[in-house]
Structure 1
């Protein structure tokens, strides 16, 4: 199945470079481009897209607001034709400059990548998001949350009582997910099979009413299960 990708970035040269990389893949097609969030939303009304590769900082409408309207569930969320699935949003960030990356994840992004990501990581990230997974790179996730979680305003909808409903093993798995570990790494740490870990993660998301692993990381920080350095 071909993954339909929309590139959203105000730098035309960067979009051109990404297009060359993506179009060379047998399972990907760049179906639309946009120079800002507002333009992206307009194009999504008439173009079927599986993954939106979205920059954070752009004129007119930044990536955080665009992500909220595309992937969120608020009253101003973009309305799509009946039967069309809502695209997943994969954010791009320079990290050292973009304090909004954490907010973008809370807005509904399925993950984030650095702008200078190697092509192989970019491609695997897009494929992961398209398949319903979340791109949570262990090292960058920890660095991002450690740096920004203490200073970003939180409109927490965390449900401590729901966290308490987790079994001891599920709680243990949630803590490791929050640290950015993959299913394989968690399996190795807890001496479980990867399939068993995947089952635990699925149950955790269901019990907590979360969409994906990224939201699980956010909830773990907001409820104090994991604390950012300096918090």
Structure 2
């Protein structure tokens, strides 16, 4: 796997998880890469806040459920501090998808399942360290299921006069002023696709996709692609 340029300083990572075995596994994976350095470990949210201030990591890999303070509250406190702030990558499980929107509101940069492959974790750390955002494809499905309430035992029927979810989203995208191509890009973003995957799907160059993504973010008035995903899901 190709890392950053040799002259670039390594990405400094703080691992936060109440299970020592999980932290050890993440450390082994991340430190196998020459451009990533694990600078510390915390087992509670309270410890994470203190180490974030003293170690000034570039990325914090944050668990959700921990003693003393959960990962969402810790993320919120860390990201509301003054100075240069780290990117927070939440590592979660399907059982914790109810926390996703709270964490988004706290300002985290990404989500990844703990069952993801090693290369996915490495790539996620690099993406958020570079200022990007990331929502794992499996987590995207969990978010979408929650928004649409598909996990309910019985689906609630819409009144006959109500618009379908697809019509609602189409209307919202039209109101936001998205062009047909930008709508296609947004829909693929909402599926968790990368720029390269979107380029392949729409037969576009990656530079063109980046331009479309930038236009989408501007028109939707959202900070990053992760918020664009949530915008789309909450309008279906």
Q: Normalising by structure 1, what TM-score?
A: 0.80
Secondary structure of the residue that 1:4 maps to in structure 2?
Answer: strand
2:227 match: 215
Match among 144, 158, 177 for residue 189 of structure 2: 177
Higher helix content, 1 or 2:
2
For residues 192 and 28 of structure 2, what CA distance do their matches in structure 1 show? 30
For the Cα contact (< 8 Å) 1:11–1:35, is it kept in 2? yes
For the Cα contact (< 8 Å) 1:95–1:101, is it kept in 2? no
Match among 37, 53, 68 for residue 29 of structure 1: 37
Secondary structure of the residue that 1:24 maps to in structure 2?
Answer: coil
Secondary structure of the residue that 2:55 maps to in structure 1?
Answer: coil
Q: Normalising by structure 2, what TM-score?
A: 0.79
Task: Verify: 1:145 aligned to 2:143, yes or no.
Answer: yes
For residues 177 and 136 of structure 2, what CA distance do their matches in structure 1 show? 28
2:4 match: none
Change in CA separation of 1:212 and 1:16 when aligned onto 2, cut-off 3 Å: same
Change in CA separation of 1:98 and 1:187 when aligned onto 2, cut-off 3 Å: closer
Moved over 3 A (4+): 160-163
Report how many residues are paired: 206
**Residue 92 of structure 1: CA displacement?**
0.7
**Residue 23 of structure 1: CA displacement?**
2.3
Secondary structure of the residue that 1:91 maps to in structure 2?
Answer: strand
Change in CA separation of 1:91 and 1:163 when aligned onto 2, cut-off 3 Å: farther
The structure number with the bigger radius of gyration is 2
1:157 match: none
For residues 67 and 125 of structure 1, what CA distance do their matches in structure 2 show? 17
**Residue 199 of structure 1: CA displacement?**
0.9
1:79 match: 82
RMSD, matched Cα: 2.1
Structure 2's unaligned 5+ residue stretches are: 1-8, 150-171
For residues 5 and 205 of structure 1, what CA distance do their matches in structure 2 show? 28
For the Cα contact (< 8 Å) 1:129–1:135, is it kept in 2? yes
Secondary structure of the residue that 1:46 maps to in structure 2?
Answer: helix
